[in-house]
Amino acid sequence: MPPSLQKSIENFLPTAHAAEPSHVIQGRNVMAGYSRISALQVNAITSFIANDPLYIECKALMQERQLLTESRLINLFLILKYGLKNLEGNIIEFGSYRGGSAIFLAAAVRALGLSTTIYALDTFEGIPSSDPTLDFHDTRDFEHVSFQELLEYKEKWGLTNLVFVKGRFEETALPLLEQTQKIILAHIDCDLYESTKYAIDVTLPYLHPKGGYLVFDDALQSTCLGALQAVEEMVQQHQLRAEQSFPHLVYRYPKIG
């Protein structure tokens, strides 16, 4: 790739996110979405970010817990770095398992100097039972996790901006959302129809009024059609348009313009 093209995409990222919230229309800022997808689809930029010492440091903290693909990690990093500039508040994650994505988010937020707390919600003892006509998972999936080990790991690395919240979302999310600051990003990775639908419904009223991010990890996975159905229902009900379709499904809410 010519260096001039690489340079123009690097410049495109901050400028595409700069005009917010006025450019968030029907649940998306088209230019912000284009800028992140372009960055991810151009190898030179992907490796430019993958070699960024900040990014490497955050990824290293996840160690062997990592479930997310490189493109999804980079996309989260780009949203945190460029997309949260005009937003103040906290991040909520629905589905944390062994903490991989939550640790990455907390490390990246800290490295980028944002004063944001990450709330990471999970049973931390396996996925709840679900409707087999919609969902693929078995209740033994994701049961191999030690909550105590997670707490110790977070302590060891001084991730004071990360809070693990143990229990079913249906019991933990609402009391938390009622007492925290506005949510600037919800990372939704819980694989099931009912869980994803609940995560969406409970979070929407608490998203930042300038257009908080809804980032769906699993809705594009072959084994998570139930999660995709919950997203489709949200789109129909609220008439939202996607800001990104690769590598995550990303929406903004409220839809502003």
Ligand X SMILES: C[S@@+](CC[C@H](N)C(=O)[O-])C[C@H]1O[C@@H](n2cnc3c(N)ncnc32)[C@H](O)[C@@H]1O
Footprint of ligand X (CB under 6 A): 65, 67-68, 95-98, 100-101, 122-123, 126-128, 142, 168-169, 189-192, 195
Q: Compare residues 20 and 194 and give the one whose CB is closer to ligand X.
A: 194
Q: Compare residues 190 and 234 and give the one whose CB is closer to ligand X.
A: 190
Q: How far is the CB of 119 from ligand X (least distance, A)?
A: 12
Distance CA 5, CA 63 (A): 33
Q: Compare residues 38 and 221 and give the one whose CB is closer to ligand X.
A: 221
Which single residue brings its beta carbon nearest to ligand X? 95
Q: Compare residues 76 and 256 and give the one whose CB is closer to ligand X.
A: 76
Q: How far is the CB of 234 from ligand X (least distance, A)?
A: 17
Q: How far is the CB of 86 from ligand X (least distance, A)?
A: 26
Q: Compare residues 211 and 247 and give the one whose CB is closer to ligand X.
A: 247
Q: How far is the CB of 159 from ligand X (least distance, A)?
A: 15
Q: How far is the CB of 6 from ligand X (least distance, A)?
A: 29
